[in-house]
Amino acid sequence: MIDAFASWMLQFGALSWLGTTPATILAMSLVAVAIFIFVALNALVLVYVERKVSAFMQVRLGPMRVGPMGTLQTVADALKLLLKEDIIPRFADPILFRVGPWIILLASFVAFAAVPFSPGWVPADMSIGLFYVVSISSVVVIGIVMSGWASNNKWSLYGAMRSAAQIVSYEIPVGLSLLAAVAVVGTLNLQEIIAAQAGVGNLFHWIPIPFPNWYIFHSPFLFLAGCIYLIAATAEVNRTPFDIPESESELVAGFMTEYSGIRWALFFLSEYANAAVVALLTAIVFLGGWQSPFADLAGARFGMISLTVLALIWTIFVKYKVKRLSIYPIGTILALTVIAWLFPAFAIWLATPGLVWIAIKGGVVIFLLMWFRWTFPRLRVDQLMYLSWKVLLPIALINLAGVAVWMWLTGAISLVG
Amino acid sequence: MARLHAEEMVLNMGPQHPSTHGVLRLKLRTDGEIVSHIEPVIGYLHRCFEKHGENIEYPMVTPFTDRCDYLASMNNAHGYAMAVEKLMDIELPERVEYLRIIFAEFQRIASHLVAVGAFGLDVGAITPFLYCFRERESILDLFEMASGARLLYNYVWIGGLAHDIPPGFVEKAYEFLDYFDERIREYDRILTGNKIFIERSADVGVMPAEVAINYGVTGPCLRASGVNHDLRRAQPYSIYDRFEFDTVVGKGEMGTVGDCWDRYNVRVLEMAQSARIIRQALEQLPTEGDVKSAVPKKIRPPKGEIYSRSENPRGELGYYIISDGSSVPFRLKMRSPAFCNLSVINEIGAGWMISDVIAILGSLDIVLGEIDR
């Protein structure tokens, strides 16, 4: 992507005096700035969405004052944080205290380098993309321990220690569940992983229901791997029910206790950047990334009709129970279906892979994370470790073997080599 | 090789901490995450209630009792009024008795709602807390209808009530009760049966019955330990002997008898029982009667002393009053249930993790205004 961008820039007469190397460097910086803007906007939007989602779950309105429907609330909050006094506790380690938040932000920021947003849209198309994302995002723990230790506060220290134990433990189920998908596709390159999930096929290979070829529908084992990944990844990004490093009611704010102003905002940026990385990775590895769920024009029409039927069923059975017949979900999907029938161009667009699809899929996963957060209580430290080492890890290991058996059964691999 | 030097760390939890339910300070001796000793340090909210009581006239004490346990103002004022009435031998009109029961039980529901919601908050579930507060708001609306205030009512007076209930109150009360019965099931779905919630609260901070009795623990905490002791049943005051209700006792359904889950569940079930009492009281409520008819013009109890106790949402609330025949109490002592309940925290909380100490503290349901007085 960067090379293509650089050569595109060199086409223009005004820029052709740039050599190839400076053009590449310029392209790199521009992409980096774009990703940084994405990360910042991502946090702004997600904080707003999180507040609204939590408000709706808690029968409140959420932010309503700043901007229409409170949409500018997070912008106002960000400005406030920027203007706040920069406090460093007297007995804190001044260097580590300053460096810690930046390391956390950097780690979650550079993880986006390998994330493919669309066909051809990946900042660095590396052959070990998946490995890179998983490993780089675990660097976060260094920053957390650093800022927790440097704060010279017992609560921060507890938060940092918990976080170190937690992230290191949950790396393993994360790795093993992703490995299950890698075993199927045979590559670590994220673009190739997505490309392998194109089209529509049978659910779990044999059940004759047309489902997208996404890995979550590939086999029961990969479905399980997807669930394990989602659970372990929730723990890795420190969200409820695994938010023990910053558990508000126990450790005040965990490793963030002593931080305020812009440094605290950096924690927030990286928290939501991490959530986005996890959501995008779930979408890429298990939900087909930027692939459209509809293989072609006919698929798009058929898919929209099935969605309408599903929405109808949902409207009747779920909404009727609470005596509130909602027309919004069915109305929206019905309108889309009609449009998909009347305008083939729209259906073709629906069937085309692209940025919209990965955004929708990532958004769904992020909504799931928020749903977890506002529903569940928090686990205790030892229960968290128990879940990781004694539940998720064995299941993930057996699951990995199960994937191999499944591939042998479906003829994807043969034992006679 | 030099040995690693390891020692216990003293951790000050509070007085500024999100889960100490006010301004409590806990001195924790911790070994990693394990807490080996808990020392509650209290007094940050000391407002000289008892000393004030020795300097102001009897009716003027009522607003102070409201401020002691600000989540159970009605019950506190009720207990105090009963003590003075016993001292003065005042016969109350029927309507006053019924209304007092109705308000006391509404207050019990409101207080338990806060306890249940805050306990959820302590173990990390934020949403149930807001659901509980939504229901509490409706109760506060009822209180506002009757007394004009939403937190500190000064409604139960010695010998009567400040005002009669306004028209439409009974209908609104019924409306709330119908709505509330459905809501209790909602808590069951979101908290009581939640696997993570059970993991966090079952078998945690088990309080055996003898420990509870030795420390003077009362109220839902005592009943959760399997002791069937509710003053409304054991020593019926006011007109509690006229109502049908069950005292809820912890059975250890999810773990051991007397664990945090039991203390939580006892409160949830007690809310249903309170609603039952309110229904009966509303049905039997006499339509006639002046709520102020028995309010004495001059409150000068005869020389003597009295100890009167009642069942507060947190436990056994006692008032010990010595009267020297003047219009000012010679001595006013309040036996605060939350104070005794808190004293047991080291016994049941030591050896657990920091997170569990928070859960145990939340399950004891303390109110610092009452502990420090």
Could you tell me which of A86, A109, A119 has the C-alpha nearest to residue A40?
A: A109
Is A240 in contact with B355 (Cβ distance < 8 A)?
no
A223 sits in which H/E element = helix A220-236
Chain B: give the shortest CA distance to residue A252, in Å: 6
B9 in contact with chain A, both atoms CB, cutoff 8 A: yes
Confidence of residue A8 (pLDDT cuts 50, 70, 90): confident
Could you tell me which of A106, A99, A48 has the C-alpha nearest to residue A75?
A: A48
Chain A: give the shortest CA distance to residue B117, in Å: 12
Are A274 and A333 contained in the same domain?
A: no
DSSP three-state, residue B298: coil
Is A379 in contact with B197 (Cβ distance < 8 A)?
no
User: How many CB pairs lie under 8 A apart between chains A and B?
Assistant: 77
Mean pLDDT of the region B48-72: 87
Are A48 and A172 contained in the same domain?
A: no
Q: Which residue of B has its CA nearest to A373?
A: B125
Largest separation between any pair of C-alpha atoms in chain A: 69
Question: How many CB atoms neighbour CB A93 within 10 A?
Answer: 17
Say yes or no to pLDDT of A17 above 80: no
Is B353 in contact with A380 (Cβ distance < 8 A)?
yes
User: Among partner residues B120, B125, B200, which is closest to A380 by beta-carbon distance?
Assistant: B200
pLDDT at position A13: 65
Residues of A in contact with B131 (CB under 8 A): 58-59
User: Among partner residues B124, B196, B197, which is closest to A249 by beta-carbon distance?
Assistant: B124
* C-beta of residue A238 within 8 angstroms of C-beta of residue A245: yes
Task: Among A146-150, A316-320, B293-297, name the one with the lowest average pLDDT.
Answer: A316-320
Are A321 and A273 contained in the same domain?
A: no
Residue listed under structure tokens 């009605």: B74
d(CA B194, CA B192): 6
Say yes or no to pLDDT of A130 above 60: yes
Tens-place pLDDT, residues A149-193: 888 888 888 888 888 888 888 888 888 888 888 888 888 888 888
B125 in contact with chain A, both atoms CB, cutoff 8 A: yes
Mean pLDDT of the region B124-143: 87
Q: What percent of chain B has pLDDT over 90?
A: 2
* C-beta of residue B344 within 8 angstroms of C-beta of residue B364: yes
Q: Which residue of B has its CA nearest to A54?
A: B127
Chain B: give the shortest CA distance to residue A302, in Å: 37
> Is residue A54 in some structural domain?
yes
Q: Which residue of B has its CA nearest to A248?
A: B18
pLDDT at position B206: 87
A323 in contact with chain B, both atoms CB, cutoff 8 A: no
Say yes or no to pLDDT of A414 above 70: no
Are A25 and A76 contained in the same domain?
A: yes
The residues, any chain, with a CB within 8 Å of residue B200's CB and separated by 6 or more, are A377, A378, A379, A380, A383, B123, B124, B260, B355, B359
Is A59 in contact with B131 (Cβ distance < 8 A)?
yes
Tens-place pLDDT, residues A326-360: 666 667 777 777 777 777 777 677 767 778 888 88
A58 in contact with chain B, both atoms CB, cutoff 8 A: yes
Residues of A in contact with B126 (CB under 8 A): 54, 58, 374
Confidence of residue A69 (pLDDT cuts 50, 70, 90): confident
Is B196 in contact with A377 (Cβ distance < 8 A)?
yes
Say yes or no to pLDDT of A249 above 70: no
Are A190 and A262 contained in the same domain?
A: yes
Is B353 in contact with A154 (Cβ distance < 8 A)?
no
pLDDT at position B31: 84
Mutation choice for A interface testing from B127, B201, B356 by most A CBs within 10 A: B127
> Is residue A241 in some structural domain?
yes
Is A374 in contact with B127 (Cβ distance < 8 A)?
yes
d(CA B148, CA B141): 9
Are A261 and A283 contained in the same domain?
A: yes
Mutation choice for B interface testing from A60, A166, A249 by most B CBs within 10 A: A249
A57 in contact with chain B, both atoms CB, cutoff 8 A: yes
Rounded to a whole number of angstroms, the distance between the first and last alpha carbons of chain B is 55
B126 in contact with chain A, both atoms CB, cutoff 8 A: yes
Task: Among B60-69, B177-186, B212-221, name the one with the lowest average pLDDT.
Answer: B177-186
Backbone angles phi, psi at B296, to 5 degrees: -70, 145
pLDDT at position A274: 87
Q: How far is CA A359 from CA A202, A230, A276, A287, A372, in A?
A: 25, 17, 10, 12, 20
B31 in contact with chain A, both atoms CB, cutoff 8 A: no
The residues, any chain, with a CB within 8 Å of residue A260's CB and separated by 6 or more, are A84, A85, A86, A87
Task: Provide the residue range defining the domain that includes A62.
Answer: 1-83
d(CA B319, CA B315): 13
A244 in contact with chain B, both atoms CB, cutoff 8 A: yes
Are A98 and A221 contained in the same domain?
A: yes
Buried-state track B40-65, b at ≥16 Cβ within 10 A, e below 16: bebebbeeebbeebeeeebbebbebb
B260 in contact with chain A, both atoms CB, cutoff 8 A: no
Are A261 and A319 contained in the same domain?
A: no
Q: Which residue of B has its CA nearest to A253?
A: B18
Q: In chain A, how many domains are there?
A: 3
Residues of B in contact with A57 (CB under 8 A): 127
Residues in chain A: 417
pLDDT at position A318: 63
Is B126 in contact with A54 (Cβ distance < 8 A)?
yes
Is B124 in contact with A380 (Cβ distance < 8 A)?
no
B177 in contact with chain A, both atoms CB, cutoff 8 A: no
User: Among partner residues A243, A244, A249, which is closest to B19 by beta-carbon distance?
Assistant: A249
Is A58 in contact with B123 (Cβ distance < 8 A)?
no
DSSP three-state, residue B238: coil
Say yes or no to pLDDT of B257 above 80: yes
Residues forming a β-bridge with A118? A121
Confidence of residue A416 (pLDDT cuts 50, 70, 90): low
> Is residue A414 in some structural domain?
no
Are A141 and A218 contained in the same domain?
A: yes
> Is residue A391 in some structural domain?
yes
> Is residue A310 in some structural domain?
yes
Residues of A in contact with B190 (CB under 8 A): 375
> Is residue A298 in some structural domain?
no
Task: Among A210-214, A265-269, A390-394, B137-141, name the one with the lowest average pLDDT.
Answer: A210-214
User: Among partner residues B18, B19, B197, which is closest to A377 by beta-carbon distance?
Assistant: B197
Are A217 and A71 contained in the same domain?
A: no
* C-beta of residue A290 within 8 angstroms of C-beta of residue A355: yes
Is B130 in contact with A58 (Cβ distance < 8 A)?
yes
Q: How far is CA A412 from CA A182, A215, A247, B166, in A?
A: 13, 14, 45, 78
B121 in contact with chain A, both atoms CB, cutoff 8 A: yes
Are A157 and A270 contained in the same domain?
A: yes
Which of A33, A52, A83 terminates a domain? The answer is A83
Query: ipTM strictly over 0.95?
Result: no
> Is residue A35 in some structural domain?
yes
Mean pLDDT of the region B318-323: 90
B151 in contact with chain A, both atoms CB, cutoff 8 A: no
Is B200 in contact with A382 (Cβ distance < 8 A)?
no
Are A256 and A367 contained in the same domain?
A: yes
Task: Among A348-357, B123-132, B215-224, name the one with the lowest average pLDDT.
Answer: A348-357
Alpha-carbon dihedral angle through residues A28, A34, A37, A41, given to the nearest 10 degrees: -140
Residues of A in contact with B355 (CB under 8 A): 244, 247, 250, 378, 380-381
Is A381 in contact with B355 (Cβ distance < 8 A)?
yes
Q: Which residue of B has its CA nearest to A378?
A: B124
Residues of A in contact with B9 (CB under 8 A): 154
Higher pLDDT residue, A282 or A197? A282
Chain B: give the shortest CA distance to residue A156, in Å: 12
- pTM of the predicted protein model: 0.83
Say yes or no to pLDDT of A123 above 70: yes
Residues of A in contact with B11 (CB under 8 A): 154
Q: How far is CA B245 from CA A38, A257, B79, B280, in A?
A: 60, 47, 20, 10
> Is residue A415 in some structural domain?
no
A88 burial level (CB within 10 Å; 0-12, 13-18, 19+): middle
pLDDT at position B72: 87
Is A154 in contact with B11 (Cβ distance < 8 A)?
yes
Say yes or no to pLDDT of A319 above 60: no
Confidence of residue B2 (pLDDT cuts 50, 70, 90): low
